[in-house]
Amino acid sequence: MNKIELDRINQLAHKKKAEGLTEAELAEQKKLREKFLAEFRENFKRQLETIEIVEPDDPRLKKQIWKQ
């Protein structure tokens, strides 16, 4: 999602609060939000997949502490 699309989401949100949206604008807002959420979820999923849980007594953890 690029900056132009994010700006448009915000613009539509402000307009909705101020004066309301037309049917076409509501459809555009829904489409942009769905795209944003899909990309957010995918990025979040990738971040979670890279997390490695280390137990407190794991020897790798002790090596990292000594390196610092």
Angle (CA) 29-2-43 rounded to 5° is 90
Per-residue pLDDT tens over the stretch 30-62:
999 999 999 999 999 999 999 877 777 777 666
66 band by pLDDT with thresholds 50, 70 and 90:
low
Q: How confident is the model at residue 65 (pLDDT cuts 50, 70, 90)?
A: low
Q: H helices of the chain, where? A: 3-18, 23-50, 59-67
Query: Are the CB atoms for 34 and 21 separated by under 8 Å?
Result: no
What angle separates helix 23-50 from helix 3-18, to the nearest 10 degrees? 130
CATH class of the domain comprising 3-67: mainly alpha
The per-residue pLDDT for 11 is 97
Whether the full predicted model's pTM is greater than 0.85, yes or no, is no
pLDDT of residue 58: 74
